Amino acid sequence: MNLAELGYVAGWRLVRALPGPVAAALFRAGADRAHRRGGAGTARLAANLRRVVGPEVPEAELAELVRAGLRSYARYWLEAFRLPSRSREQILTGFRLTHGKELLAADVASGRGAVIALPHAGNWDAAGAWVAAQGWPITTVAERLRPEAVYERFLAFRRGLGMEILPTHGGERPPFEILVERLNAGHVVPLLADRDLSARGVEVTFFGGRTRMPAGPALLALRTGAPLYVATMWYEPDAACTSIEGPLELPDPASGPLDQRARLLTQRIADGLAAGIARHPEDWHMLQRMWLDQDGPGDPSPRPRRESRPPAASGPV
């Protein structure tokens, strides 16, 4: 067992053994220490949040927002480590879908499923566990990361919560084909959609700058006709929360070729994600390079780095 795997195993075992208030205080203190020390991740978060809030926000206010963002990210990790030990009732009460539950229930019941474009915000694992606890089938995709042992542990973690997880590559079949089948069987398909991990995504305008986002959510909706929603995710003191907006209007097939319609729909997703992030910027956990013209700490090249986070659900390319 290497050090990375050992760290995750220790987190899942030790953090669950601590009383809740003690664990929360430790993670909050760790976030504050990271804020004081600075570092590439903290600097990148500050740069990303500056894009969100604009140049008119004073530096002191931005610094407080960054600290709140690091605390939010620490809360995500704390909850991820403790989530496997929570009962179904605790999972249902620890997460709230404030808008859209009836829509999703109807989509699942009708057998047409639903695609949900997510930001890297709030707690997407708690959201997935909540969907599974409702008795709704849920399938998503996770990037295959190294070391493989850590990736396998995260697969086991999410599968243990009731989610079907497909690898972005290296599986027996392309994930896109399987997701089409799952949507046609009435599954909920949530996909993180605010950052392209392939450098082959669709270029969009996002908070006034150019970035790339995965085409997967748009292509799945266009291929299957499944409703496509955009999620806003944030934290309240007592729960992780999400609302979904949509379904988005799909471009008419007569309006242009598939790639043109996918670009148009992905821009609509980007606009929806931006609106939600602007409402809850402190809960957007984006510590990586986002914009194509971005310089400074982190990766200076347009190609994204491998994530220093758990393998996240992502859109198929």
How does pLDDT run across 112-124, given as a tens digit for each residue? 999 999 999 999 9
Is residue 142 helix, strand or coil?
A: strand
* DSSP, res 298: S
Give per-residue pLDDT as tens, 88-101: 999 999 999 999 99
| Residues composing the chain | 317
DSSP 165-213: EEESSSSSS-HHHHHHHHHHTT-EEEEE-SS-SSS-SEEEEETTEEEEE
Ranges of the chain whose pLDDT falls below 50: 1, 3, 297-309, 311-312, 314-317
CA distances from 101 to 96, 116, 164, 222 (A): 9, 12, 20, 23
Tokens (6 digits) for 55: 């140049």
Question: DSSP per residue over 40-55, as a string?
Answer: HHHHHHHHHHHHHH-T
- Round to whole Å and give the CA distance between 51 and 210: 11
The C-alpha atoms of residue 201 and residue 265 are separated, in whole angstroms, by: 13
- Phi, psi torsion values for 268, nearest 5 degrees: -65, -40
Q: How far apart are CA 197 and CA 286, in angstroms?
A: 13
- pTM across the whole model: 0.88
Q: What is the structure's pLDDT at 7?
A: 59
Distances (CA, A) of 99 to 48, 104, 191, 305: 27, 10, 18, 34
Nearest in space to 40 (alpha carbons), one of 304, 299, 314: 299
So what's the pLDDT on residue 181? 96
- Name every residue whose Cβ is closer than 8 Å to that of residue 202 and which is 6 or more positions away in sequence: 196, 212, 213, 214, 215, 218, 262, 263, 266, 267
Angle value at C-alpha 74, between 82 and 26, nearest 5 degrees: 75
CB half-sphere exposure, 116, CA atoms < 13 A = 30
* Alpha-carbon span 203 to 184, nearest angstrom: 28
Cα–Cα distance for residue pair 121/15, rounded to 1 Å: 22
DSSP-assigned beta bridge partners for residue 96: 241
- Across the chain, the runs of DSSP E, i.e. the strands, are 95-99, 114-118, 139-142, 164-167, 188-192, 202-206, 209-213, 228-236, 239-245
Q: For position 53, what pLDDT does the model report?
A: 97
Calculate ∠ Cα 43-47-51, nearest 5°: 165
Q: Tell whether omega for the bond before 175 is within 30 degrees of 0, i.e. cis.
A: no
Q: What is the pLDDT of residue 295?
A: 65
Q: Pick the closest to residue 127 from 236, 249, 274, 231 (CA basis).
A: 231
Q: Which of these, 124, 94, 98, 114, lies nearest to 195 by C-alpha position?
A: 124
pLDDT confidence of residue 289? 92
